Every structure is written in structure tokens, then in C-alpha cells.
Structure 1
Amino acid sequence: MDWDDLRIFLAVSRAESLSGAGRRLGMDASTVGRRIARLEQAVGAVLFAKTPQGYALTAEGGRLIVPAEAAEKAALTVAEAARRDEGIGGQLRIGAPDGCANYLLPQVARRLAEAHPKLEIQIVSLPRVVNLSKREADMAIAVSPPDTGRLTVQRLSDYHLHLAAHRDYLAARPPIGDLADLKAHRMIGYIPDMIFDRELDYLSETGVETAAISSNSVSVQMQAIRAGAGIGIVHDFAIPFVDGLRVLLPDRIALRRSFWLLRHADDRDSRRLSVLADALAQGVRAEIIRLESQVFAAADRFA
């Protein structure tokens, strides 16, 4: 059985489509389909059932997953050993919630790229938890540790959030001296039914039940606040990126959350990924400290 056919089989099982697998592999969908047909002929079984939702594994296909992943791990180990003397290179795909992806990872990626010039860094920002079992990424940053899955979980860092608004909005609105005063203001937050993790339910901390403007994206919320559209709870590490932002009621609203680094359990023996995971963790921690320290060092950040 050809390893390259198994590689294509795994890509289809994870993408659940020929076109999705083709995009990951750099092949056209028809070539992927022919290779799957060849593999099915070699094993003497149908491996996928075509459904309206995509390509689903049959029972025979499901039984092939474990040996295929074992072959994948062996191939990666051989490739890593061959590259060891050449320095760390290849592709590194990092999944992250968009607040982290927008305000932290670009700076961290710059330092990783400078330290490892042969590395190709990809940042995947999704409004949900990245699925490592389907190999959507090599590692992922999450806002809470998962309850299930064959994963290794490492606590990265705490981070903080405060209520904030732009000075232009505050200049035209009634003063805010207490949480009760927020009822006279427009609030900005998450779309309730699109909150994919309970740790993101920030608005409930204010006592305000609904947001006048909402988005499933932290970055869109921040841009609305920047435009003077209302008040929201923002990451402290994002505040230095927006001129004119003011922190409100810091003694009443001061949230603390954590980032977690997730890796597939099969990758724990990969020296390459372990080195990169350590560098990523150190970089994220340092960047949070650097950016958060700027907020409370600037007296004019407080309304």
C-alpha cells in the first residue's frame, strides 16, 4: 500500500470532500478522486460514502484511520530527522480566536520567522474552536481547555479585559459613574447564539442583557468601538492599538481569562513542533505582558 495514497485518504477524511482535500494537498479534485479509487481497489473495499454533507467514512474506511495515522506519524518522524541539520522549516499552521490572531500573533509570528527563516507560518482565525483531529492546524490556541479529544493541553497565559469606549463617544453621551449608568448607553458585544465558548460571554458581566451592535468577531466589535458606536468589553492587549480608547469603571469590570495551547496527542514526540510550541508560548506570554503594561502606564487611558 502506497503511503502517498494513505496521505490523500487522510486528507479526504479530514476535509470530508475531494475539493477540500485537494486544496490542502495542492491537487485538483479529480486527481484526488482517482487516487482514492486506486486505494479502494488496492484494499478491496469502499472507504467513503458520498452524502449531501460530503464524503463520510464507511466502516471499512474507519478501520483504516488508525494504521494510516500511524504511517503519517512515521513519515513525519523520518522527514523531521532528515531536516534536523537544516534548521526548523516547513509549514506551521496555528489556529486561534480572532482577538489573539489579530492583536498578538502577528508580532509573535514575526519573531518566529526571524528565528527560523525557512519556516512558513499560517495563522487561521475562526469563530470556533479549531479541530485538530481533522488537522485544521498543527496547534491551536483556545480560551478554555477542551473536555474531549486526544490532545495535549498547556496553559499559556492569563489575560485581562475591561469596559472601554472611544473618547468621541464619551464626549457626546451622559457620564458613566456606575454600572447602572450603562443602561443609557449603546453596548457592543457578541451575537448571543454565536458565542462558541462560555468564556466569551462578557456582556453578562455588565448587567446589560442585549447589545445594540453585535458581531461574532472581536475585531469587528473593536472597530465599532473605535468608530464611536458604543461601549464594549475589550482585551487589554488590544487597547494600545486604538488611539482615543478610554477604560471605564476599572474597579467594577475587570475580567481575567486564560489562553490554552492545544496540540494533537500524536505530535507530542515531535521535536520540531515541541520547539515551535515552546517559542509560541513564550512569545504570546511576552506580548500580553508588553501590551497590557502599556494600558495602565498611560493615565489618559482612563475616563
Structure 2
Amino acid sequence: MNETKADWADLQLFLAVAREGGLSPAARATGRSPATLGRRMMALERKLGRDLFIRHERGYELTAEARTLMQDLEAVEARLLRLTAPEEPIERPLVKVSAGTWTTLALLDQLDAITGAPADLRLRFVSTEATLDIARREVVIGFRNARPTGGSLAGRRLLRVEFAAYALPGAPDHWIRIVADTPSARWLARVAGTEAACEVTAPRNGLDLALAGRGKALLPTFIGDRHPGLERVGDTISELGHDQWIVTHQDDRHLPHVRRAIDRICAAFAGWRRA
């Protein structure tokens, strides 16, 4: 390490860049410009005599030494906050989670169990049917329909997801079609075709219409079974069944706050299996 010591302000900026995954989101969090943050990070690397980031077009990936530094600094930061502002809440570490509509709804229903009581995590849900790039740190935790194949990714199998049609008793026997690029939406397009009474582009709207008695919606059973009044219309669709996996970066899974989030999410899924 160089003799010039790193400034605590620069180390705090490093934490912002590391937590947010890039200069632009860190700029929004700190009020500094991306250019300023970029210069400060390069200066910090020179002072410490080590590389902290692997720079990509879409974000900043932490080196192994940077991950160790981040853990050490978070411990120091937490202790300083306790000593200097004991009556103020300590900033909770952020965990960004991407999941499809249905998994996000189920996770939100278990929010207190995942964040902790009292909360020691801050969750940011990115609800999308698209697959975000965990290797490039677009999110920290993602949900997938298959085992991860990337060498930098780690996964844990959660449960078997099944789909079935649901409707209120006495509702019209026609489909509510969801127009989306998902296996279930493509299956429904083949089955319903142009005979669907209504088409929506947001999966949640399909559930809303079914709850309003406007037809039958294709839903995962862990959603449909938990809505009073909705009944299954027929059997589960075998070709749509798949395993649900929780995925994170091989290195991030060892961070204490990421580990807590994963363990609590898995516990929630275990409860859904028993229900």
C-alpha cells in the first residue's frame, strides 16, 4: 500500500459505488457527478495500490480485494454510526432482487420475514419478466426457471412451480389472455388464440380480472390457491411445470446481508411448499 492514506470520504464514496454497482446509480445516491466519482475511484485505487473494480460498459464489478474492503468498511461504518448517532437508525444494506410478477407478489407478502424484525435489510424489487444480468450486477438476487449455467453464478433450487386455470364460481368460461414473452403466455396464446375475451400485457391485470369474475386466468398455483374465492378450473398444465431457482453471483453469496436475504427467502419458499 502506498504511504498516502485513503480519505474516509473517498472510502464512503467507494461504498456507494460498490453498493449501487456503477457510477451513474452511485451519483444519484451521493449527489456527485459520475465523472467526479470515476476520478475519485481511480485516485483511491492509486492510494491503496490495488485494483478495486473491473470496469464494464454496464457497470462496475468488484475485485476480490474490493469485496473484502467493502465488508471491512461496512463493519467500521456500522460501528461509527452507533458511536456517533446512537438515536439515529443505521442505514440498512441494499439488496436488489429481480423476479417475475408472480414471484414478486409472493415475496411482498413475506416482506417482514425477509427484511427481518426489526428490519436489517433494505430490499429493492425489480419486477420484470426479462432476465437481468446478475454477473454484471444489474441485480444481486434473481429468480430463474432453470439451474444457472454461468461459471460466476450460484443457484439454489426452491420449489416446483405449477400452473392452472383459476376463476370465480359462475364466471364466464373464457380465457383472460396475458400477452407477454413467457412460457405460460405463449401456451395460453396457442390454447386461447383469438377466443380470449380480454387481453392484457401486465400479468397482474389477468389476476385482477379473474378476481372481478370476468373469466379464467392462467396462474401459478402458489398465487391462485392463496386467493379466497378463486377455484381451479381443471388440472395443472404439466408442460408448464418447472423448478424455481434463486440465483446470485458466486462471490456475492458470501456477503452477510446477501446471505441473510437468501436464507430468509428460502425459508419463505419452504413455507409455501408446506401450505
Q: Helix, strand or coil: the match of 2:110?
A: helix
User: Structure 1 residue 222 and structure 2 residue 172: aligned?
Assistant: no
Q: Where does 1:179-218 land on structure 2 (aligned, <5 Å)?
A: 185=174, 187-191=175-179, 194-195=180-181, 197-198=182-183, 201-203=186-188, 207-210=191-194, 211-218=196-203
Q: Which amino acid aligns with 2:146?
A: S
Give, as a single letter, the amino acid of the residue that structure 2 aligns with 1:189.
Answer: R
Q: Partner residue of 1:76? A: 70
| Separation of aligned partners in 1, 2:261 and 2:108 | 15
Q: Partners in 1 of 2:159 and 2:124 — Cα distance?
A: 21
**Corresponding residue for 1:286?**
271
1:281/1:202 CA distance change after superposition, 3 Å:
farther
- The one-character-per-residue Cα deviations of 1:59-117 (angstroms, maximum 9, x if unpaired) are x9559x88853343122331465569x9xx53333222110111x21232212334453
- 2:152–2:249 contact (8 Å) kept in structure 1: yes
Unaligned runs of 5+ in 2: 1-5, 47-53, 83-91
Instruction: Say if 1:7 and 1:68, in contact at 8 Å, map to a contact too.
Output: no
Aligned pair partner of 2:128 in 118, 126, 130: 126
CA distance in 2, matches of 1:67, 1:120: 21
Matched position secondary structure for 1:169:
coil
Cα distance in 1 for residues equivalent to 2:215 and 2:156? 36
Displacement of 1:261:
0.4
Contact residue 7 and residue 72 of structure 1 kept, 8 A:
no
Range 72-81 or range 151-160, more displaced: 72-81
Provide closer, same or farther for how the CA distance between residues 21 and 94 of structure 1 changes in structure 2, counting only shifts above 3 A. same
Could you tell me the TM-score, scaled by structure 2's length?
Answer: 0.70
1:34 aligns with 2:36: yes
For 2:273 and 2:185, locate their aligned partners in 1 and report how far apart those are by CA, in whole Å.
18
Aligned residue for 2:33, secondary structure, equals: helix
- Give yes or no for the alignment of 1:22 onto 2:27: yes
8 Å contact from structure 1 (residues 159, 288) kept in 2: no
The reply to whether residue 269 of structure 1 matches residue 254 of structure 2 is yes
Q: Measure the CA separation in 1 of the matches of 2:132 and 2:62.
A: 22
In structure 2, the residue matched to 1:57 is none
Counterparts of 2:43 and 2:113, CA distance in 1: 47
> C-alpha deviations, 1:151-176, integer Å up to 9, x for none?
10111111222112223423xx5xxx
User: Deviation string for 1:4-42 (max 9, x for gaps)?
Assistant: 666666689x56x73x4423xx123x5333232455689
Name the structure 2 match of 1:260: 245
Give SS of 1:136's match: coil
1:91 and 2:86 equivalent? no
Contact 1:3 1:71 in 2 (8 A): no
Aligned to 1:50: none
Distance 1:239 1:8, change over 3 A: closer
User: CA distance change for structure 1 residues 67 and 222 in 2, over 3 Å: closer, same or farther?
Assistant: closer
Q: Deviations over 1:184-236 (max 9, x none)?
A: x3x22332xx41x54664416x7333545333432121112222332221122
Query: Matched residues in 1 for 2:42 and 2:254: separation?
Result: 31
Query: How many angstroms apart in 2 are the aligned matches of 1:276 and 1:22?
Result: 26
Q: CA deviation at 1:282?
A: 1.6
Percent identity, please: 17
CA contact (8 A) 1:113 1:119 kept: yes
- Report the structure, 1 or 2, having the larger helix content: 1
Listed as ranges, the matches of 1:228-239 within 5 Å are 228-239=213-224
Q: Distance in 2 between matches of 1:263 and 1:69?
A: 16
Change (3 A) 1:234 1:68: closer
What amino acid does structure 2 have at the position aligned with 1:144?
A: A
Q: TM-score, normalised by structure 1?
A: 0.65
